[in-house]
Amino acid sequence: MTRKQRRLTMIGGALVVLAIAAALVLNALRDSIVFFTTPAVAAEKQIPPGKRFRLGGLVEQGSLTRGDNLAVSFKVTDGTATLPVTYKGILPDLFREGQGIISEGALDASGVFRADTVLAKHDENYMPKEVAEALKKQGHWKDDYGAKPGTAK
């Protein structure tokens, strides 16, 4: 093989791998990303049952009920709308009424959000960042969360 042929083999091989990677990435981005919404946005967008998304907001005061076998249900609110959520399992350490949470799951036919993950991720302000921003956008969050670079605000 000449130098040129060798180089072409290498470049060709590299391009093939890159093309495969690009195809994989595009395919995965189509199927496996999850959008974040709040109850108000979820109502507005009319998300079909079964489509996975992340729901963020505050746990409504007095809405938490515990059932048998670690089943829990509560309501998530963003001040404008509320959405009932059910979950089975252990809630995170920082889960409390009135506190911001993010849960992942999908709506069922009756419009209840069935969560399979509940996160009470928090910073020093005990508030998930997405939730704080969404609430702020709707005017329900007074405390200044701090300017964040690189985001549309």
Partner 1 sequence: MIAEAGHYALVLALGLAIIQSIVPMLGARWRDAGLMNVARSSALAQFLFVALSFGALTMLHVTSDFSVVNVFENSHSLKPLIYKFTGVWGNHEGSMLLWVLILALFGAMVAAFGNNLPLSLRANVLAVQAWIAAAFYLFILATSNPFLRIASPPIEGRDLNPILQDIGLAIHPPMLYLGYVGFSISFSFAVAALIEGRIDAAWARWVRPWTLMAWIFLTLGIAMGSYWAYYELGWGGWWFWDPVENASLMPWLSGTALLHSAVVMEKRNALKVWTILLAIITFSLSLLGTFLVRSGVLTSVHTFASDPSRGVFILLILCFFIGGSLALYAWRAPALRQGGLFAPISREGALVLNNLFLTTACVTVLVGTLYPLGLEVLTGDKISVGAPFFNLTFGPLFVPLLIAVPFGPLLAWKRGDLLGAAQRLFAAGVAALIVVALVWAWAKGGAALAPLAIGLAVFVIVGAAVELIERIGLLRVPFRTAMHRAIGLPRSNWGTAFAHAGLGVALIGIVCETTWNSERIASLKQNDIVTVADYSVKLESLIQRQGPNYREQIAQFVVSRDGQQVGAMSPSKRNFATRGMSTTEAALLTRGASQLYISLGEAGADGAIAVRIYYKPLVLLIWLGPMLMAFGGLLSLSDRRLRVGAPKPAKASRDLQPAE
User: Using CB under 8 A as the criterion, which residues of the chain lie in contact with partner 1 when the complex forms?
Assistant: 1, 3, 6, 9-10, 13-14, 17-18, 20-21, 24-25, 27-29, 31-37, 54, 66, 69-70, 88-91, 93-94, 119, 121, 123, 128-130, 134, 146-152
Q: Look up residue 33 and give its amino acid.
A: I
CB of 26 to partner 1, least distance (A): 10
Structure tokens at 132: 């704080």
* Closer residue to partner 1 in complex, CB, 6/108: 6
- Cα–Cα distance for residue pair 129/96, rounded to 1 Å: 17
74: Cα separation from own chain's centroid = 18
CB of 36 to partner 1, least distance (A): 4
Q: Which is nearer to partner 1, 79 or 130 (CB)?
A: 130
Minimum CB separation from partner 1 for residue 20, in Å?
8
Nearer to partner 1, 47 or 134 (CB): 134
Whether residue 77 contacts residue 60, with contact meaning beta carbons closer than 8 Å, is answered with yes
Q: How would DSSP label each residue in 72-96? A: EEEEEE-SS-EEEEEEESPPPTT--
Shortest Å distance, C-beta 60 to partner 1: 19
Strand boundaries in 46-143, DSSP class E: 52-59, 65-66, 71-77, 82-88, 100-107, 113-119
Nearest residue (CB) to partner 1, 84 versus 96: 96
